[in-house]
A and B are shown apart, each in its own frame.
Chain A
Amino acid sequence: MTILRHGLFLALLFGLLLAAGERASVLAQTQAAAVDGRHPVDVVPPLAGPALASMPAGLSARRTMVGGLENGGQVLALDFAAADDSVQALGGSGALDDTGAGDQRGMLGRWFDNVAYWLGTAYTTVTDGFTPPSPETFAKGMRTSSPDDFWKLVGDAGYKLKGISTDVGLVPDVAFSFRYVRELSDGDINWLERKLRHHENKYHDPLSYAQRAIIYTLLSINTSNYYYVEELKVKLLPLPTASFNLNPWDNDLNWEHDTLLRAIQGQKHARRKPVEEESRY
């Protein structure tokens, strides 16, 4: 499994590098064509945005990945397809390279592009089950999601989005952190379990199974008498994972929290001193 994963990763990486190299070559040829005045209309910009198109080639692939993730991973796939089309448009016309050497490299590049496209599509299919369309829309769109949505279930389990962390790089990463904000009553638990049963009857795919497993795990830990999941982190790479940060239920409040709690309860005189101060007496 590890070997397979590494193999896929290397193929993806290699594909990306080749695609980037291809784009660099296309970009150089495009610029040359523009200077020569040859086929100015046939040239398709290699990347979606003008700012990206003007970037150094080495960076462009990375930005593509990031852009892809920002748009729920769909752009990753589409962009490779667009790049493939652009290469075909250019290579197929034979306008830029008459020697055939470019075609050979283009074929290899296309093969890797296809691999990368397939991997990208597979990747987004997997990750979309766990991730919202984009961090921005996710942050805004929690309320508009369908009742069966995984994110809604996470909210129903008493969690609220705390933050989104992203790593930019050849293998980018997005992680969503949720904090436990609402204790569930027995009624809430019964209701959520009923909702999960309905979810189970409706969705039978492995992704839905994994989503339910996450919620059941939260429920199982939080209803134990010892621990609760204080923070849930859903990560995307190398594969979608959920990590649970457990805290004991009987964890004493620190003195600031305690003071605040007592102030709220109107017991201002019962202020507890910090442990260091208490130990002096």
Chain B
Amino acid sequence: MLIVRLFCTVVVIALLILAPAISASADGAGPVVPRAAIKVLVSPLQVRFLAAVSEQLVTKYRLQPLDVSTVLAAPAVKAFCAGIGPETPDVIAIPRQMAKREYNQCIENGVIDIVELSPGFDALVLVTRRDDLVFNMTLRAMFFALAATVPQGDEFVPNAVKRWRELDPRLPDQEINVLGSENGTAINAFFKEIFMEGGCRGLHQFKSIYSSADRVKGCTALREDGRFIGIKAPIAINFKPAMERAPRGSIAVVPYTVYQHNADWLSLIPVDGVTPSDETIKSDDYAAVSPVRFYVKRKHMEASFGGLGVVTGLYKFIEEAMSEGAIGTGGYLDVLGLVVDDADDRRRDRESAMRLQPFKR
């Protein structure tokens, strides 16, 4: 009797010890060998930031360089939220906060305990040549200037507007010529969301459309008669030649960092009365601010951080990306054009990231 009881106890203890391992391997989440390189999906706008962090990880911590792939924000989040395991990305870097729908998808697929890093902000700005006229632009004017079709009464007609003055008597009497990142890029997607969707929001012809997909399609389709000139990626390199070829009075939509690197010959155009600056971007007063966000899977960290050990060095990545040397004033991400937060906010964000505080939406 005693032997049977002893045997049962041993079996129960053995099961208790082995259960997590069995369960982990059963759902396919248990990695065999941890990956050496952190897998990152990054939106094109953020590549430069991730490259700089990667360099620091190699030199400071002797880690493998980041395995960076460039994709747009939505597919990046989709891949990130697909599940846990070595085949899925460990980190994504996108120019916006993860949407509630995406977050819910993550949770459904078992991607819980996501850590959000908020290193700073980026923004899209309107610029013109320094010797051209600077005027106050509105989101509404941008929409009516660049939409493929515009509402007229209860109908939508092809956009035939040629001069800004035709849209608003307060706008200058000059030709509409707008340069921006070409279709299919992250900058273009952000431009459409802020300027085009924002410009048509509130128009009753669009408000009466139930489906968001139909509404967005109608709002964001750009005219193709040459009024909008697409700049090929990378915009930082191709912007200057494109602007030089463009007619006088042309306006360009570029990331704030591109303006900063060309500030000697460009002027900023206020949008809805707010001129972009570090202050108006940080305070979110400027309309086209994009909060840079990195998302990290805690489950991919080493077991000592509560993870499954999918990859090594993930905590070091967080530590480095949120360090004062990176996001502090004069830090290497600041130099690369990231609009960094105030000292207090930085400290708060850093503490939250280091504590691996789970992101909630």
Contact = CB atoms under 8 A, between A and B. Distances in A.
A191 to B, nearest CB: 7
B201 A191 contact: yes
A188 B201 contact: yes
A39 interface: no
Contacts, number: 51
Interface string B310-337: 0000000000000000000000000000
Contacts of A220: 100
A271 B279 CA distance: 58
A183 B215 CA distance: 9
A184 B201 contact: no
Interface residues of A, number: 19
A277 to B, nearest CB: 28
Interface residues of B, number: 22
Contacts of B194: 187
B99 A182 contact: no
Interface string B269-289: 000000000000000100000
B101 A188 contact: no
A190 interface: yes
Nearest to A225: B104
B contact face: mostly helix, strand, loop, or mixed: helix
A220 B103 CA distance: 11
Interface string A156-182: 000000000000000000000000011
- Could you say which of B100, B198, B215 has the most chain A C-beta atoms within 10 Å of its C-beta? B100
B215 to A, nearest CB: 7
B211 interface: yes
Contacts of B212: 182-185, 188
B284 A194 contact: yes
Contacts of A194: 284
A215 interface: no
Nearest to B102: A186
B198 A197 contact: no
Contacts of B19: none
Given A190-B96, A225-B101, A182 B207 contact: yes
11 contacts: A182-B210, A182-B215, A183-B212, A185-B215, A186-B99, A186-B193, A190-B96, A190-B97, A190-B193, A191-B201, A223-B104
Interface of A: 181-191, 194, 197-198, 219-220, 223-225
